[in-house]
Amino acid sequence: MFDEDIARIRTHRNNIHRYRRLLKTRLSDLERRFVERRLSEEQAAVEALVSGTFPVAFTLPKGLGATPSPEASS
């Protein structure tokens, strides 16, 4: 079961990266809304899966993989 959860997390992570790459391209408003919605759904799914797989020891920060703000690095 643990290996399956890790595989699911990896799949969600790959989807998140793919959607972020798509958002850097030229998209219509409809396409952009769709990709943003899918990105949000994937992030929620991976957060739920991670919290169930690693209930206490590992928690992911909000915005999985988001770049830190300039103030955070100071």
pLDDT at 67: 54
Q: Is 70 inside a domain boundary? A: no
What distance in Å separates the CA atoms of residue 8 and residue 57, rounded to the nearest whole number? 19
CA dist list (Å): 64 to 12, 28, 52: 11, 25, 16
Residue 25 placed within a domain: yes
Rounded to two decimals, the pTM is 0.68
| Structural domain range at position 36 | 2-53
* Number of compact structural domains in the chain: 1
2-61 per-position pLDDT tens digit: 889 899 999 999 999 999 999 999 999 999 999 999 999 999 999 999 887 776 655 566
